Chain A
Amino acid sequence: MEYEAVIGMEVHVELNTDSKVFCGCSTDFDAPPNTNVCPVCLGMPGVLPVINRMAVEYSVAAGLALGCTISRWSKMDRKNYFYPDLAKNYQISQYDLPLTYDGSLEIEVDGVRKRIGITRAHLEEDTARNTHSLGGGVSGVDFNRSGVALLEIVSEPDIRSAAEAFAYLTALKQILQYLGVSDCNMEEGSLRAEANISLRPVGATEFGTKTEVKNVASFSGTQRAIEYEIARQRAILEEGGAVLQETRGWDADRGVTVSQRSKESAHDYRYFPEPDLVPLAVDEAWEATIRETLPELPQARRDRFMEQYGLPAYDTGVLTADRAMADYFEAVVEAGAEPKQAGNWVMGDLQKLLADGDVPIGECRVEPDGLAAMIGLIDKGVISGKIAKDVLAEMFATGKAPGTVVEQRGLVQISDADELAEVARAVIEANPGPAGDYRGGKKNALGFLVGQMMKATKGKANPKLANELLQHELEKG
């Protein structure tokens, strides 16, 4: 029997607020254990939460970017369960009235676009971190993360493959980073993904029994875990067995999912409205104010780049993957560079320099107008494209302007026809074989000779002129 996978994702992202969601403690990630804590986030007796306005606004912004409806009336609830990382032994979350609901996210796999429904995105608080590496039969609890604002984004079970899940996470991360509401750094735990996976015969409308896969540390890990889990479930079903509804952890080292014991004897969370907080009422005016702050989102920007700059789909995808990169590209174009060339330089040499040096684009020493000026020098024939690569590397290393680099290093292109004609004649003389080949009709021998000219001039020969002069000299003699 043919089976299809039915996958829904639950993603938790830590919101980028400076302070926690219910107290004024810092959200700084690097602080020593239990130094960003106060009576509120330690759950001490007598404390009360007061909600961070920015956390609500970030949640609404994320909801809007995901096409969600914003609740005019919503509230926080208490979710009751016991665990040492949960200061109050209840988590302040949202149950039946989430801040935002009913949206969708477009993904693209193998050139096919598809919308994945977003059930809801709601605000809650993060838990503390337990450490098990202290030895002595104890675990340690660090409450620095306790009370950091979290947005939980729940998708509809619209995902059908591990590749789609990967694309979903990538698109979601891109949007949230564009908004600036979260770092979405999976290694630091600011993005956590869980997948609900079940299989059903193709054509069936009812869902099969699902498992929940957790403990995944990367997007590619998520993809592998889902691939594994689909295969595992398929094997069970093909043998006529039944999938057990359970939580399974991904063991990245062994490449398998492993059944996890449930932490509560029963998941009976006893939700009820949080009496210490008053309802959240995001009216139309407030929603509009937040909407105005939304940047252009990745999909819209890709479409516009294709339309406005005539860039191919692949290029727009690369250029818009990161908001800062896309902003940089547009600044280069704004400064006068031709878009296609600008795109090639940004996603080619510049991207490589950034990656090799592990430099975020925000800290790049090549200003957009510097790159545009460099492209201008190529256009004007002052330097060759090949020389420009060296110029860019030096600009990147020193922050110098392109004109300064070219002048200081004497890299100005030779465009003097008499001078180059002399070089051409010398090259023909030194390479009688290829010259003869060319004259005998093997026109592609010209490339070799041009290369020799560039070598002779240390790359400074104007390639177009060198080409013409070589042909002229070869045909004349």
Chain B
Amino acid sequence: MGKITKQDVEYVSGLAHLTLDEETKERLVGELSEILGYMEKLNELDTSNIEPTMHALEMTNVYREDKVQPSLDRETALMNAPDSDGEYFLVPKILDTE
């Protein structure tokens, strides 16, 4: 752990698909450094023999049976679409084939 840099902020904003202006980046460098610095407190604790808690709940094996349930009708499925042709959700043309 350590101080967060502007490059770090740019890297995570890239992963999160957020665009930050210079001023915001500077502000976030300060804020995130302060918060992450505070989190270094956790290093005071030796947790090498502690199991992580994923859920506060101790449950396993919750399943549904393989039964087909009704789907939405297409009109409802597309009801909130910002752009659609009545069949597909539309997005700007995807060039990257991956």
Q: Which residues of A contact B (CB under 8 A)?
A: 17-19, 23-26, 32-39, 42, 50-56, 75, 80, 82, 84, 130-132, 134, 137-143, 214-215, 247, 249, 260-266, 268, 270, 273, 275, 277-281
The digit string for B21-63, where 1 denotes a CB below 8 A from any CB of A, is 0000000000000000000000000000000001101011111
* B98 CB contacts on chain A under 8 angstroms: 214, 247, 249, 260-263
Looking at the assembled complex, report how far the CB atom of A363 sits from the nearest CB atom of chain B, in whole angstroms: 24
* B62 CB contacts on chain A under 8 angstroms: 50-51, 277-278
Partner of B68, one of A19, A34, A265: A19
Contact (Cβ within 8 A) B93 A139: yes
Contact (Cβ within 8 A) A134 B88: yes
How many angstroms between the C-alpha atoms of A26 and B89 in the bound complex?
19
Closest 3 CB pairs of A and B: A24-B69, A140-B88, A54-B66
How many angstroms between the C-alpha atoms of A463 and B46 in the bound complex?
90
Summed over the interface, the residue pairs from A and B with CB atoms below 8 Å come to a total of: 142
How many angstroms between the C-alpha atoms of A32 and B61 in the bound complex?
34
Contact (Cβ within 8 A) A140 B69: no
How many angstroms between the C-alpha atoms of A270 and B11 in the bound complex?
13
Looking at the assembled complex, report how far the CB atom of A288 sits from the nearest CB atom of chain B, in whole angstroms: 16
Looking at the assembled complex, report how far the CB atom of B13 sits from the nearest CB atom of chain A, in whole angstroms: 11
Q: A34-B89, A142-B88 are in contact. Are A278 and B57 (CB under 8 A)?
A: yes
How many angstroms between the C-alpha atoms of A132 and B72 in the bound complex?
24
Q: Is the interface of A mostly helix, strand, loop or mixed?
A: loop
B19 beta carbon closer than 8 Å to chain A: no
How many angstroms between the C-alpha atoms of A62 and B61 in the bound complex?
19
Contact (Cβ within 8 A) A268 B15: yes
B7 beta carbon closer than 8 Å to chain A: no
User: Which chain B residue lies CB-closest to A23?
Assistant: B69
Contact (Cβ within 8 A) B54 A39: no
Contact (Cβ within 8 A) B91 A19: no
Looking at the assembled complex, report how far the CB atom of B76 sits from the nearest CB atom of chain A, in whole angstroms: 9
Looking at the assembled complex, report how far the CB atom of B11 sits from the nearest CB atom of chain A, in whole angstroms: 8
Contact (Cβ within 8 A) A140 B87: yes
Contact (Cβ within 8 A) B90 A138: yes
* A214 CB contacts on chain B under 8 angstroms: 98
Q: A214-B98, A247-B98, A261-B98 are in contact. Are A280 and B74 (CB under 8 A)?
A: no
- State which size class the interface on B falls in: 35 or more
* B69 CB contacts on chain A under 8 angstroms: 19, 23-25, 38
How many angstroms between the C-alpha atoms of A63 and B83 in the bound complex?
42
* A247 CB contacts on chain B under 8 angstroms: 98
Contact (Cβ within 8 A) A42 B97: no
Contact (Cβ within 8 A) B91 A141: yes
User: Which chain B residue lies CB-closest to A131?
Assistant: B88
B81-97: which residues lie under 8 A (CB-CB) from chain A?
Answer: 83, 85, 87-94, 96-97
Partner of B66, one of A18, A84, A140: A18
Contact (Cβ within 8 A) A139 B92: yes
How many angstroms between the C-alpha atoms of A54 and B64 in the bound complex?
9
User: Which chain A residue lies CB-closest to B61?
Assistant: A281
Q: A130-B94, A137-B92, A273-B54 are in contact. Are A42 and B77 (CB under 8 A)?
A: yes
Contact (Cβ within 8 A) B64 A50: yes
User: Which chain B residue lies CB-closest to A82?
Assistant: B17
How many angstroms between the C-alpha atoms of A348 and B70 in the bound complex?
46
Contact (Cβ within 8 A) A52 B64: yes
Contact (Cβ within 8 A) A26 B17: no
Interchain Cβ contacts under 8 Å between A and B, 9 examples = A25-B71, A32-B74, A50-B62, A52-B63, A138-B91, A139-B90, A266-B14, A277-B62, A281-B60
* A18 CB contacts on chain B under 8 angstroms: 66-68
Most chain B CB within a 10 A radius of its CB, from A131, A137, A141: A141
* B63 CB contacts on chain A under 8 angstroms: 50-53, 56
Q: A138-B92, A275-B54, A278-B55 are in contact. Are A17 and B71 (CB under 8 A)?
A: no
Contact (Cβ within 8 A) B78 A34: yes
Contacts A53-B65, A140-B87, A268-B15 aside, 20 further interface pairs with beta carbons under 8 A come to A17-B66, A19-B69, A24-B71, A35-B74, A37-B71, A42-B77, A53-B63, A54-B65, A84-B91, A130-B94, A132-B94, A137-B93, A139-B91, A140-B89, A142-B87, A215-B97, A260-B97, A263-B98, A266-B11, A275-B54
Q: A25-B71, A84-B91 are in contact. Are A34 and B61 (CB under 8 A)?
A: no
How many angstroms between the C-alpha atoms of A281 and B62 in the bound complex?
10
Partner of B64, one of A34, A37, A53, A261: A53
Contact (Cβ within 8 A) A34 B77: yes
* B11 CB contacts on chain A under 8 angstroms: 266
* A50 CB contacts on chain B under 8 angstroms: 62-64
User: Which chain A residue lies CB-closest to B94?
Assistant: A139
User: Which chain B residue lies CB-closest to A15?
Assistant: B66
Looking at the assembled complex, report how far the CB atom of B64 sits from the nearest CB atom of chain A, in whole angstroms: 4
Looking at the assembled complex, report how far the CB atom of B9 sits from the nearest CB atom of chain A, in whole angstroms: 14
How many angstroms between the C-alpha atoms of A52 and B62 in the bound complex?
9
How many angstroms between the C-alpha atoms of A200 and B12 in the bound complex?
36
User: Which chain A residue lies CB-closest to B72?
Assistant: A38
Partner of A37, one of B57, B61, B77, B83: B77
Most chain A CB within a 10 A radius of its CB, from B62, B63, B71: B71
Contact (Cβ within 8 A) A270 B15: yes
How many angstroms between the C-alpha atoms of A263 and B15 in the bound complex?
11
Contact (Cβ within 8 A) A279 B15: no
